[in-house]
């Protein structure tokens, strides 16, 4: 009997592609032979736009890159500019940034687990995860007024101080989140259907993961212990005691476990940061107009989705000459073809979900 092969298009509009992503699939009955992502549907010309804005005006626009974890983008860009301009960030500001960034990591991973479970069919997990995420977003709203495009981290520090009432609210939220997480774990961790869909699916070896340039939870799930917070610490991360969860098999199930464990570790880091919040200013003294001497810097941070890098080149004026963003989702998406080959069509959704891509930062 002749085996047929035909092209399937998961168009830019699809309930499960986490944004406007087009996937061209070559499918043989049910088995996937190749995947080609087509990008650009959300391209907004960010990097070019930034060349006409001042360094500070770029910060709110970085929110719109990875819109699920906007504070991480703020942090990445601000750290790069501070490195370029030689701005010293006070210790209190660094701790506040850690609190914000880890809360954002928590929120991003919760959103991820919700979307992933919804794609696989467990609809209720989406709502439980988002209910937990609401508490974190309420903190952000109380801190600086916005829930999604937070713009809470500025060049030189954080937008305002983290006072005691807000710190106790954050501690209360950190109590509530593990309860909801337990519900999610009870529904998914040992569930035979979930394990059937995720164990052994989308496997990638450690060597291949490094070759493809994977970063973040997909890399750590393959067993490679690389986390920017530990290996190239920034913003006082080396003051905190936390573990980096590693997976063994590099499949979807390991990525799921790694991200859930990272949520627990983030809670741990936030508790330590709130405990040891030093005295000082929440933001360095910045000149009215920030002019940076010519130079170029590349700085990376561990965003929830992977390693986020910013290259900033200045030419002495108050506007950057070039800002280039290396987004983790863009690089991670490369490995989709490798991971999907030989798997079934329904697994493409699961594998794509496990990579945790967001089109805002892929297409910029």
Partner 1 sequence: MSRVLRLLRTVFLVDILSGLGVTLRLYFSRKVTVPYPEKVQAPAPRFRGLPRLFRDEAGEPLCIACKLCQKSCGTNCFDIEGRKAEGVRHMRPVKFDWTLERCSFCGFCVEVCPTSAIRFSPEFRLTGVRRDGLVFHLDEMYLTGDALQEHLCGGCRRAT
Partner 2 sequence: MTPFVADVLIPVGKIVAVILYPMVMVVVMIWLERRVVALMQLRLGPNRVGFQGLAQPVADAVKLFFKEDIRQRRADKLLFNISPILVMASSLLAFCFLPLGEPVRIGAYTLTLWIAESPVGLLIVLGLSSISVFGVIFGGWAANSKYPLMGALRSVVQVLSYEIPLGLTVLTVAFLARSMDLVEIVRRQEASGVWYGFLMPVSFVVFWISAVAETNRAPFDLPEAESELVAGYHTEYSGMKFAYFYMAEYAHMVLVSSLVVNLFFGGWLAPFPSVKALDFLDVVPGFLWYLIKIMFFLYLYVWIRATFPRYRFDSLIRLVWKWLIPLALANVLVVILVRFLR
SS3 of 154, please? strand
DSSP helix/strand/coil, 246: coil
Task: Name the binder of 249 from partner 1, partner 2, none, CB < 5-8 A by kind.
Answer: none
- Using CB under 8 A as the binding rule, whether residue 137 contacts partner 2 is answered as no
Nearest to 346 by CA among 252, 272, 207, 262: 252
The secondary structure of residue 147, as a DSSP letter, is: S
Q: What is the dihedral of CA 269, 69, 65, 303, to 10 degrees?
A: 30
Q: How far is the CB of 64 from partner 1 (least distance, A)?
A: 8
Binding site for partner 1 (CB under 8 A): 53-54, 56-61, 124, 128, 131, 134, 138, 141-146, 149, 151, 183, 186-187, 190-192
Is 56 near partner 2 (CB under 8 A)?
A: no
Please give the size of the binding site for partner 2, defined by CB under 8 A. Answer: 30
Measured in degrees and rounded to the nearest 5, phi and psi for residue 69 equal -135, 65
What, of partner 1, partner 2, none, does residue 117 touch, CB below 5 to 8 Å by kind?
A: partner 2
Given candidates 1, 3, 4, 6, which one binds partner 2 under the rule CB under 8 A? 6
φ, ψ for residue 314, nearest 5 deg: -115, 160
* Site mask for partner 2 (CB under 8 A), range 262-281, x = bound: --------------------
| Dist. CA 105–CA 113, nearest whole Å | 12
How many CB atoms are located within 10 Å of the residue 298 CB?
14
- State which of positions 336-355 bind partner 2 (CB under 8 A): 344-347, 349
CB of 210 to partner 2, least distance (A): 29
Instruction: In angstroms, give the least distance from the CB of 153 to partner 1.
Output: 13
Q: Where are the alpha helices (DSSP H) in 121-251?
A: 123-144, 164-188, 192-198, 206-212, 217-221, 228-231
Beta carbon of residue 334, minimum distance to partner 2 (angstroms, whole number): 23
Q: Which parts of this chain interact with partner 2 (CB under 8 A)?
A: 6, 8, 14-16, 30, 117-124, 126-128, 131, 187-188, 191, 193-194, 196-197, 344-347, 349
């Amino acid at each position: 009997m002749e085996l047929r092969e035909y092209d399937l298009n998961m168009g830019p509009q699809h309930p499960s592609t986490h944004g406007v992503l087009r996937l061209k699939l070559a499918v043989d009955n049910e088995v996937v032979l190749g995947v080609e992502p087509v990008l650009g549907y959300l391209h907004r010309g960010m990097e070019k736009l930034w060349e006409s804005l001042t360094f500070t005006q770029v910060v709110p626009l970085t929110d719109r890159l990875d819109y699920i974890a906007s504070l991480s983008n703020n942090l990445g860009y601000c750290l790069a500019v501070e490195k370029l301009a030689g701005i010293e960030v006070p210790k209190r500001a660094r701790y506040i940034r850690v609190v914000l960034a880890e809360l954002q990591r928590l929120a991003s991973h919760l959103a991820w687990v919700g979307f992933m479970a919804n794609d696989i069919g467990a609809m209720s997990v989406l709502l439980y995860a988002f209910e937990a995420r609401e508490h974190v977003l309420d903190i952000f709203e109380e801190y600086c007024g916005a829930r999604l495009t937070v713009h809470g981290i500025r060049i030189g520090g954080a937008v305002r101080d983290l006072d005691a009432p807000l710190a106790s609210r954050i501690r209360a939220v950190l109590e509530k989140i593990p309860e909801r997480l337990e519900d999610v774990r009870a529904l998914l961790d040992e569930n035979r259907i979930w394990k059937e869909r995720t164990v052994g699916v989308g496997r990638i070896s450690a060597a291949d993961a490094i070759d493809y340039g994977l970063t973040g939870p997909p890399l750590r799930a393959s067993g490679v212990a690389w986390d920017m917070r530990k290996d190239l610490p920034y913003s006082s991360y080396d003051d905190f005691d936390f573990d980096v969860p590693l997976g063994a098999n590099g499949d979807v199930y390991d990525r799921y476990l790694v991200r859930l464990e990272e949520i627990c570790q983030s809670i741990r880091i936030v508790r330590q940061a709130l405990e040891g919040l030093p005295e000082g200013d929440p933001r360095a003294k910045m000149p009215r107009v920030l002019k940076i001497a010519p130079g170029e810097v590349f700085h990376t941070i561990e965003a929830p989705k992977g390693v986020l890098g910013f290259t900033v080149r200045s030419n002495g004026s108050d506007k950057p000459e070039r800002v280039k963003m290396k987004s983790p989702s863009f690089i991670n998406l490369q490995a989709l073809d490798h991971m999907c080959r030989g798997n079934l069509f329904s697994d493409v959704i699961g594998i794509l979900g496990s990579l945790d891509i967001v089109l805002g930062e892929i297409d910029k």
